[in-house]
Amino acid sequence: MADMNVNYINPFLEAAIAIVKDACQVELKIGKPYAKMVELTEGTVVILISVTGEMRGQVVLSIDEKKACEIASRMMMGMPVPELDDMAISAISELGNMIMGNAATVFSVRNIGIDILKCFAAIVITNSHMDILYPKFGALATGGAIGDALFFFCSGFTLFLGRMGRFDNWYKRRINRIYPTVFAWAILGSLLFGYHNDINNILLSGGGWFVSCIMLYYVLLYFIQRYLLEYLKLV
């Protein structure tokens, strides 16, 4: 059975609670999430929705047919729903869409803080290299160490919450994500600004000290995450 990450599960639970309360005036009580193999039997209504992007998979919402009729009735202002006809099925499908939409909002809101930190890190790192702007106040060109630390934190935080899979495939994705941009900017800087020493250093050192460090930390992060997942059950 695949590993379960509560950071992916909880937004869907939160969304289901909020949507069912608003659309059906029903208070849901959610127990502790756990993994279980379930065989869907006759009389079960299933909503299957695919998810693509950084997180890929399928979300399955299963409801007992009798409960589905009750929910559809509440969504249709109390209209009697003795069986799941086309109108009732449409209402249940809409409920699934609403839950997924709300869950997507929860995911996006949780990432806003990280995006703000990344933006701040970019600003202070850029400022630390702008001492030419402060000829009389060179001390103002600072903040690089803080920005570097924030980038390390943001990268580790977002990757730690994700599904990593096999190490070789995961590490290849990290290389493909980082190095093309590094080399492209190095070549651009060499052609436009004559930074030939920089491109030679990048080619020989593997992208400079920051890139080399983060690629090394990726290796440590992978095995730390796997250890916490498999032995301490913290992820």
- pLDDT tens digits, one per residue of 166-184: 888 888 888 888 888 877 8
* Residue ranges of domains in the chain: 6-106, 112-232
Q: In percent, how much of the chain has pLDDT > 90?
A: 0
Q: For 6-106, CATH number?
A: 3.40.1550.10
Taking alpha carbons only, the member of 195, 193, 215 closest to residue 205 is 215
CA 111 distance to own-chain centroid: 7
3-state SS assignment for residue 49:
strand
Distance between CA 229 and CA 112 in Å, rounded?
26
Average pLDDT over residues 219-235: 72
Taking alpha carbons only, the member of 92, 209, 57, 196 closest to residue 148 is 209
Model confidence at 54: pLDDT above 80: no
Q: For residue 111, what pLDDT is reported?
A: 64
Q: For residue 1, what pLDDT is reported?
A: 46
98-143 pLDDT, tens digit per residue, is 888 888 777 766 666 677 777 888 888 777 777 777 777 767 777 7
Encoded amino acid at 192, one letter = L
**Which parts of 129-166 fold into alpha helices (H)?**
144-161
- Looking at the whole model, is its pTM more than 0.85? no
